[in-house]
Structure 1
Amino acid sequence: MEILHRNIERILTAYTGRWGMVIVNQSTGARLELNPEMVFPAASMIKVPIMYEIMRQAAAGTISLDDSLTVTSCFRTGGAGILKELRPGLTLTVRELVTLMIILSDNTATNMLIDLAGMEAINKTITGLGLKSTVLRRRMMDFDAALAGKENYTSAADLALMFANIYHSRGLPESYGALMMDILTRQQIRDKLPFYLPAKTVMAHKTGTLTGVEHDAGILFLPGGPYIICVLTGDLAANQQGIQLVASIGKVIYEYFHKEK
């Protein structure tokens, strides 16, 4: 991947901030890494391990994906998502809440699922999966907690491992890994890694955004793949720069691997 490395470094020269990346060919094990262990505010990337823990508890019989939960005022919050715009008292299944948490990054759904699974259980599973820098310390949009130092964190290396765990259904029955992959492929926020890719390109991924932070990570499916791709950015002068940076990296990754085959 030396040529790809050079192409990415060429893009990075036009930007300020910091970044961490991991690209893995799942078929061959070949890896490209830039600051893989660098820690970033997780933003909505933390929703991926939350999803995994919900699936783990469902597989264990602790909860059911078909259980219904009511969207009450204590959960409704701002930021990304659709539930804040809908009528109070709406009832959805756990499966529907997980879907909204991933494909629309719904913060209300996320907070409901954090309370359902339990923050301690989520963090225990994160550690058990081998993630070294990822931690859930606060609910979505809890900026008071963030200011008090209770931030959620992750790294590109952790996310690469997280997506490998999902792809291979590690620690779960295969049907739950397949369900997570299906939800991730229905991602509707496509302004970063897939932005310049042909419309029919399949990518199972999750994005994350905070002030000065733009992330995208997941699995790109090509004839020579699949490829795990994790690109995290931080300390951005403007978020639009981060969006353009990640989208440009997605383009050169696609062109490199597409040409390779």
Structure 2
Amino acid sequence: MEELRNKIESILSHYTGRWGIVIMNQTTGEKMELNPDMAFPAASMIKVPIMVEIMRQAAAGLLSLDQKLVIDSAAKVDGAGILKELRPGLTMTVRELVTLMIILSDNTATNILIDLVGMEAVNQTMSNLGLQSTVLRRRMMDFAEARSGKENMTSAADLAHLFAGIASGSLGLPPAYSAIMLDILKRQQIRDKLPFYWPEELVIAHKTGTLPGAEHDGGILYLPGGPYVVCVLAAGLKENYLGLQMVASIGKCLYDHIS
């Protein structure tokens, strides 16, 4: 993957900031990494660990994906998502809330699910899975907590480990739960980063994240030659649109290289 590394480093030379990148061929195990263990504010990438913990608790019988939760006015928060726009008192299943948390990055759904499973449980599971930099410290849109130092964090290596485990079914969960997560990730609606230049029919199961000065995207790219795990995290950006351009350019570079 040395040629791919050179191409990506050429793209990065046009931008300022910092980045963590992991690209792995899941068939051969061949890997290209740049700052894989560098910790970043997770933004909405933290929703992938939350989803994994929900599936773990569902598999353990601690909750049901079909149980219904009420979305009341107090639960609604700003930012990404659709639930804030809908009537209070609406009921949704855990499965539906997980779907909204991933495919629309719904912050209200995320906070309801954090309260359901507990931050400590998410962090303990991530630690048990061997993740070094991933920690859930605050609910979505709680910027006061973020300013006090309670920021959610992750790394490209940690996310690559999670995505690879979801794809291969090696996270210690029954296969049905990995299949549910893959199905949800494949229905991602936010496609302005890694897949921006890709053919519409190309399948990627992924999650994005955005904060001021940070743009992330990562997941599993399905190609005829086999799946690739791809994670690109970027922070310290002068403008977010530059991060969008950078991640999209890396996506195009990867597709062109593999194709």
TM over 0.5: yes
Aligned counterparts of 2:106 and 2:73: Cα–Cα separation in 1:
15
Q: Which residue of 1 aligns with 2:173?
A: 172
Q: Which residue of 1 aligns with 2:38?
A: 38
Aligned counterparts of 2:60 and 2:241: Cα–Cα separation in 1:
42
Alpha-carbon displacement from aligned partner over 1:76-126 (angstroms, at most 9, x marks no partner): 000000000111111000000000000000000000000001111011001
Q: Which residue of 1 aligns with 2:251?
A: 250
Aligned counterparts of 2:99 and 2:185: Cα–Cα separation in 1:
8
Unaligned runs of 5+ in 1: none
Q: Which residue of 2 aligns with 1:116?
A: 116
SS at match of 2:74: coil
Q: Which residue of 2 aligns with 1:125?
A: 125
SS at match of 1:229: strand
Q: Which residue of 1 aligns with 2:195?
A: 194
- Alignment size in residue pairs: 258
Q: Which residue of 2 aligns with 1:71?
A: 71
Aligned counterparts of 2:181 and 2:141: Cα–Cα separation in 1:
24
Instruction: Give 1:99-248 correspondences, 5 Å limit.
Output: 99-169=99-169, 170-248=171-249
Displacement after TM superposition at 1:225 (Å): 2.0
- Amino acid aligned to 1:31: K
1:26 maps to 2:30? no
- Amino acid aligned to 2:204: M
Aligned counterparts of 1:141 and 1:246: Cα–Cα separation in 2:
24
Aligned counterparts of 1:200 and 1:162: Cα–Cα separation in 2:
24
- Amino acid aligned to 1:138: R
Alpha-carbon displacement from aligned partner over 1:119-145 (angstroms, at most 9, x marks no partner): 110110010111000000000000010
Alpha-carbon displacement from aligned partner over 1:20-58 (angstroms, at most 9, x marks no partner): 100000000000000001110000000001000000100
Aligned counterparts of 2:13 and 2:114: Cα–Cα separation in 1:
39
Q: Cα RMSD over matched residues?
A: 0.6
Displacement after TM superposition at 1:206 (Å): 0.1
Identity of aligned residues (%): 69
SS at match of 1:15: coil
SS at match of 2:232: strand
Displacement after TM superposition at 1:164 (Å): 1.2
SS at match of 1:61: coil
Displacement after TM superposition at 1:73 (Å): 2.1
Aligned counterparts of 1:106 and 1:225: Cα–Cα separation in 2:
31
SS at match of 1:226: strand
